[in-house]
Structure 1
Amino acid sequence: MDEQERINAEKQDRRGRLLEARRRIDPAQCLDAGRRLADLLAGQVLAKLGHSRGDQSLTVAAFSSIRGEIAMDPSLDLLVGRGYQVLIPMLGTGIQVGWGRLQSEQDLEDMKRIPGWRPDEPDMPALPPQALNQADLILVPALAIDHAGIRLGRGGGWYDRALALRAEQTSVVGICWPGEFVEDPLPHLDHDLPVDAVLTPEGFTPTAAGQSRRPGADHNGDEQD
């Protein structure tokens, strides 16, 4: 087994354990966590970003949550309710990289409910992968994130391909459960893109990758209740 195979095997082992733990999370717990997450998104993330942009409307790339994830409905309601442009992944018939743009509460209500483990998608033609370049903030799901910013996803490589097209200055914030924000380094390969910060229902924390990318920014952002 070479080094890449060893790392991939370690990733898969961690994914299995994390997904098993998520299967035991009650949907009511996911929704409660989602409400707290939306409060922190508004108070600690969007407040800073909106201030830096003045009154100009923001474009935020977010995602639809699936079983076991922190519910994203409260955050999507918040973003759309503020009049922001909200980009949501559209996987098509496979795992193509595309985006839907939510611009109204009606767009939210019209989301296609997809059973199983695929996220709900906007009911509209998909925008091309390059649409992510318009985003001022990108929120991504994670099974785990370490303090360096290394993110463990589900293994399909969708976000690795998608994030390659983001604007260089755009912050990427990973979202996970508090216990999935870990001290120990996660296994990773060279093509794995780190996130700039972590948002959990308990707080917002810049990662080492985010701090190094923006050395002039204020990074006094240890997790706060």
Structure 2
Amino acid sequence: MSAPGPTTAKVLLRQEIRTRRRAKATQRDRRADGEAIARAVLAALPPGTSTVAAYAALPSEPPTEALIEALVAHGIRVLLPVLLPDNDLDWRAVDRDGEHPTPLGRDAIGRAEVVVTPALGVDRSGTRLGQGGGSYDRALARRAATARVVALLHDGELVEGPLPREDHDARVHAVVTAGQGLVEVGAG
């Protein structure tokens, strides 16, 4: 019998990580985690960063509310994704004037110098295990070539690896966790 292919291995890993996240959800201090994540991301921004693509975290994901608020307070425009019917992502802006509901288009991610992305896991080579819909892999393909990609994880979700990887999987440059702060990983 052969080993499971990347797609099957990904499905199994996603189930395992989601189960672990649900079990630990009540043990986390989301406010403290969010503030630690915000500090780590802000400290790692390249000088002159004007636009960051981020996301509004689900309850099981590392919190992003403090990060979004901190970015806006520092005068940085934040792009938040809007899930489209085809599972691709459009973007809307948040800045000091508030949230702008007008969609900016799928290519708006190309304006971000830093892209903060959700992940279920990342390995040391920068392979990111996403939720499985492909939304971020498609969006990351449209980022600027110089944009830094940072995945947010809970402590313990950065693994030695390797994680299963397919050709369309976009790699990340760094990981941020509440406990470890910013950790550089390989990116392709």
Q: State whether residues 37 and 199 of structure 1, in contact with CA within 8 Å, keep that contact through their aligned partners in structure 2.
A: yes
Shift of 1:61: 0.5
Aligned to 1:165: 142
Aligned equivalents of 2:63 and 2:97: distance in 1?
17
Provide closer, same or farther for how the CA distance between residues 102 and 144 of structure 1 changes in structure 2, counting only shifts above 3 A: same
Aligned equivalents of 1:196 and 1:28: distance in 2?
26
TM-score (norm 1): 0.77
Answer 1 or 2: higher relative contact order, Cα 8 Å, separation at least 6. 2
Q: State whether residues 30 and 69 of structure 1, in contact with CA within 8 Å, keep that contact through their aligned partners in structure 2.
A: no
Q: In the alignment, is residue 31 of structure 1 matched against residue 61 of structure 2?
A: no
The SS at the match of 2:15 is: helix
Q: How many equivalent residue pairs?
A: 186
Q: In the alignment, is residue 187 of structure 1 matched against residue 150 of structure 2?
A: no
Listed one character per residue, the Cα deviations across residues 166-224 of structure 1 (whole Å, up to 9, x for unaligned) are 11111111110120000121011111110011111122111122xxx6xxxxxxxxxxx
Q: State whether residues 27 and 67 of structure 1, in contact with CA within 8 Å, keep that contact through their aligned partners in structure 2.
A: no
Aligned to 1:147: 124
Aligned equivalents of 2:28 and 2:14: distance in 1?
23
Aligned equivalents of 1:106 and 1:39: distance in 2?
21
Larger radius of gyration: 1
Q: State whether residues 22 and 60 of structure 2, in contact with CA within 8 Å, keep that contact through their aligned partners in structure 1.
A: yes
Aligned equivalents of 2:129 and 2:146: distance in 1?
22
Aligned equivalents of 1:135 and 1:185: distance in 2?
28
Aligned equivalents of 1:74 and 1:178: distance in 2?
18
Aligned equivalents of 1:178 and 1:84: distance in 2?
27
Aligned equivalents of 1:81 and 1:160: distance in 2?
29
**Consecutive unaligned residues in structure 1, runs of 5 or more:** 108-122, 214-225
Aligned to 1:73: 65
Q: In the alignment, is residue 131 of structure 1 matched against residue 108 of structure 2?
A: yes
Shift of 1:145: 0.2
**Consecutive unaligned residues in structure 2, runs of 5 or more:** none
1:58-97 pair list within 5 angstroms:
58-93=50-85, 95-97=87-89
Percent pairwise identity: 33
More displaced stretch, 31-40 vs 132-141: 31-40
Listed one character per residue, the Cα deviations across residues 94-137 of structure 1 (whole Å, up to 9, x for unaligned) are 52320011012632xxxxxxxxxxxxxxx612111111111111
Aligned equivalents of 1:166 and 1:199: distance in 2?
19
Listed one character per residue, the Cα deviations across residues 137-169 of structure 1 (whole Å, up to 9, x for unaligned) are 110011000000000000000011101111111
Shift of 1:30: 2.5
The structure whose residues are more often strand, as a share, is 2
Output the aligned Cα RMSD.
Answer: 2.0
Match of 1:98 among 67, 84, 90: 90
The letter for the 2-side match of 1:208 is: G
TM-score (norm 2): 0.91
Shift of 1:84: 0.8
